[in-house]
Amino acid sequence: MEIKKITAWFEKNMPDVQSELAFMNPFQLIVAVILSAQCTDKRVNMVTPHLFKRYPTPQALAQASLDEVYGFVKSVSYPNNKAKHLIEMAKMLVKDYGGVVPDDIDELQKLPGVGRKTANVVASIVYNKPVIAVDTHVFRVAHRLGLSNGATPYEVEKDITPLFAEDIRAKAHHWLILHGRYVCVARKPKCSECGLAPYCPTYSSNEKV
């Protein structure tokens, strides 16, 4: 495993990496991440400005009707479920957390629509927690780079988290996502353009075929 070289490449080539979701505060981020499940960040960023203007706070969203919220999010994937989750999430934030997005992974996962991946994203970005969220991109890149052979996102998370120092895990989350989104894509990875190819066992094995 070439983790030191992989980390050094990312540090050199993606030093100021950050989320592609547009948000101004923790509440906006958790809404955006819930909407981003199985949907592109680009699409979510088209939806959220209007949503946030109408519902700028958890208190406002908690008072919304399902039909109202659906009207704002109908262009994202699974809009009915997500509209329902957003309202219920806002209600719980107001009732149980005083309208403040919690910084604890377990507490975050109590919120409707918030699984472990979403909780890790929010904790990592907002509170700089040393966790790595595993979505489909991270899962794929971790396997191709030989960082994990875990069968589930949680198994991959357990494998790759200790590979990165605590102070760079928040960045590592974005490194792996963006590399999977734009270079190490699912169907036709751009290996000829990839700076990590020299350290990639999948690329090496394909070259030998």
130 in Cβ contact with 166 (< 8 Å) = yes
Q: How far is CA 7 from the centre of its chain?
A: 19
Token representation of residue 184:
């190490």
Structure tokens at 189: 């990875």
Contact 73, 51 (CB under 8 A): yes
Tokens of 75: 């262009």
Nearest Cα residue to 161 out of 123, 191, 201, 114: 123
Active site residues: 117, 135
Please report how the helices 66-73 and 79-97 are oriented relative to each other, as an axis angle in degrees rounded to 10. 120
CB 68 within 8 A of CB 27: no
179 vs 173: CA distance, rounded Å: 10
How far is the C-alpha of 195 from the C-alpha of 100, rounded, in Å? 41
